[in-house]
Amino acid sequence: MNLVWLRRDLRVDDNTALFEASKVGGPVAAVFIATPQTWTEHHLAPIQADFIYRRLFELQQDLAALNVPLLYFEVDTFTDSVDKVVGLANALGVDDVFVNKEYELNETRRDDFLEQKLNAQSKTLHRYDDKCILPPGSVVNKQGEYFKVFTPFKKAYLSQLSLCPAHPQKAFKVKLPADLGALPSDVFSVESLFSYPRVSSERYAVETIAIYSLLREFNNDSVDRYKEDRDYPSIAGTSGVSPYLAIGALSVRQCMARVLYQQSPPLSIGRETWQNELIWREFYQHLTYFEPKLSMGKSFLAWGNALKWQNEDARIDAWKKGRTGYPIVDAAMHQLNQTGWMHNRLRMVVASFLIKDLQVDWRVGEAYFMSKLIDGDYAANNGGWQWCASTGCDGQPYFRIFNPVTQGERFDAKGDFVRQWIPALSDVPDKYIHKPWKWSNVKALSYSAPIVDHKEQREITLTNYKNAKDAMNVS
């Protein structure tokens, strides 16, 4: 028997570790191990925990159709999970364990530790680059170094992709395993075994057929308008597949293959723009692999560590609760807190506001997002926050500071999104919806005044960033 340890790859189709374990010809068992203590340290969102929990039931059925039992265990930490896998391999008489790589530092160390323990017992760990289409280290410059700017990375990436297109692999049945004895093979019916706090994720489907339909419908009906629609939060102009990529219910290969399906170059501008977003995801995964410091809370750019933060608790609390007095920021935070998801354009707006209007350390926002997002993915989340903070690889220029009023007026001109999430502003005229403090009837509103003046805060931020760069002798 071969053993597949599933983590953030909760699917049967196009799962490299499962595919390779099945190719051998013998029976296969799969295992998922919850690690509540480590999840707490990593700020796993309760809504994502519920999403994973619900997905496991569906995955168990999908695997059963392939004659693969799914076992479930719960331990405290990553270290404990290694011991559990080794013990399970011994109990099942398994010599080969199959996993798909994760590129964050703790996860890499976990798998190194597992490999050492398995090797000591003459067992083998097989690791696969399944999270990316092109593995980290395969897209490098002429000097053999990783790219630090997205545009040349994208050019090299697409060149390689044209030579080695994404071809998702279809899962297939294996031999039925022998009696598993006392090992639990149907524990998902016992809800108490999944002890991590959960918040309902029912608005997000977990059935495999529904997930595939979502991807197919986006590419059939919406992707060609993606560039025009994606920045407007009141329009359903995004794909909606990010939660499934985050837990591996979909692979990036499946997404790339679908966007290129029966398409002759050049792609439509909408397809090209969505493909670009998939490549940004790959870019951040590669950076996480090459730069362990990104998993240690450090800025990609060294001068970023010299920034001085105010970190005022009252302001942070107002930002988290959507009480800043800036409607587009507050509406976005209400969307996040109530649904576990936030529109991508608004992620940039609220991040810029926290960092550059409130002078709050980007790590505070990074952690809060992870604690709330159903699509929380460490590499993408870290990359996005450092991009907004101007401390990341190919981040935005530090002097580019989003104005929350003009961002609202540009991308929610009639205030449809704001009124959806802030009913208190429903009667405010369009002209004042993003600056209600200027409306003549403002005293009748149960809505807070702006907690800071954007123009004043912008000057403070510019000075802070200039001082940090000067201190590190960076031009």
Residues forming the active site: 277, 280, 309, 344, 362, 385
d(CA 462, CA 42): 31
d(CA 2, CA 144): 36
Question: What backbone torsions phi and psi does residue 146 show, to the nearest 5 degrees?
Answer: -70, 155
Q: Which of 123, 37, 59, 62 has its CA nearest to residue 88? A: 123
Q: Which of 343, 60, 379 has its CA nearest to residue 245? A: 379
d(CA 332, CA 168): 35
CA-angle at 370, arms to 6 and 458, nearest 5°: 150
Question: What backbone torsions phi and psi does residue 355 show, to the nearest 5 degrees?
Answer: -80, -45
Q: How far is CA 138 from CA 117, 161, 288, in A?
A: 29, 11, 14
Angle (deg, nearest 10), helices 362-372 and 344-352: 140
SS3 474: coil
Amino acid making up residue 394? D
Which residue in this structure is represented by tokens 């302001």?
Answer: 315
Kind of pairing between the strands at 70-74 and 2-6: unpaired
Q: Which of 320, 345, 299 has its CA nearest to residue 451? A: 320
Please return the burial class of 151, using the count of CB atoms within 10 Å of its CB with bins 0-12, 13-18 and 19+: exposed
Question: What backbone torsions phi and psi does residue 219 show, to the nearest 5 degrees?
Answer: -75, -25
d(CA 294, CA 386): 10
> What count of other Cβ atoms lies within 10 Å of the Cβ of residue 61?
14
- Are the C-beta atoms of residues 107 and 78 closer than 8 Å to each other? yes
d(CA 220, CA 32): 34
d(CA 31, CA 70): 5
d(CA 13, CA 247): 14
Alpha helices for 252-377 (secondary structure H): 252-260, 269-290, 313-321, 327-339, 344-352, 362-372
Counts of helices then strands in the chain (DSSP H, E)? 19, 5
